Structure 1
Amino acid sequence: MVGSARVLLVAAVVGFLATTACGAAQRDYAAALTKSLLYFEAQRSGRLPPTHRVQWRGNSALKDGADHGVSTSAMHACVVRCTCLVRA
C-alpha cells in the first residue's frame, strides 16, 4: 500500500508541474500521465481491489500455475514493487 501511495504522490506532483509549466508547446502532460497510469492499472492480474478504476477488467489468473504448486496471481504487484525499489 505504501508503494501505491508513493506512486500517486509522484503522479500528483508531476501532474501539477505539467499543468503549471510553460505552455509554449501546449502538450497535455497531465492527461498523458493519467492515461499511462490507467494503462498500467489495467495490466494487473490476480484479485483486484474494489478501488480498481478499470471497470471492464476483472479478477484474472487466480489459478495460474496451480497444477505445479505455484501462484502467479500477485506477479504484477511483485514486479512493480521490485522496480520501485531498484529506482529508489
Structure 2
Amino acid sequence: MKWGFIGWIVLGGLAGWIASKIKGRDAQMGIGLNIIVGIIGGLLGGWILGLFLDDPMSNIFMSFITCLIGAVVLLTIVNLFTGSRR
C-alpha cells in the first residue's frame, strides 16, 4: 500500500511518540523529534524486518509495527551514546 506524505508523518509521529514513552525519553522530545524518530525508525525497522519478512510494510498495522520497532531500536542506540534515562 502506498502512503502519502501526510500519512507517513502521522504514522511516524505516532510511532515515535509511543517509542519515546517506551524508552522513557518523552520528556526530552517534542512532536518534531517524535516524527523524525518515527520516520527514521520506519526506515530502520523496514530494513531489519525486511531481513526476516517478505514485505514488512504490507498493511497499515504492519507499517505501524515496523515504524515502532525501528523507533525503539533507534532510541536504544541513542540511549547507549547519551546515557539511559531509565
TM-score (norm 2): 0.34
TM-score (norm 1): 0.33
Q: Which has the higher contact order (CA 8 A, sep 6+)?
A: 2
Whose helix fraction is larger, Structure 1's or Structure 2's?
2
Larger Rg: 1
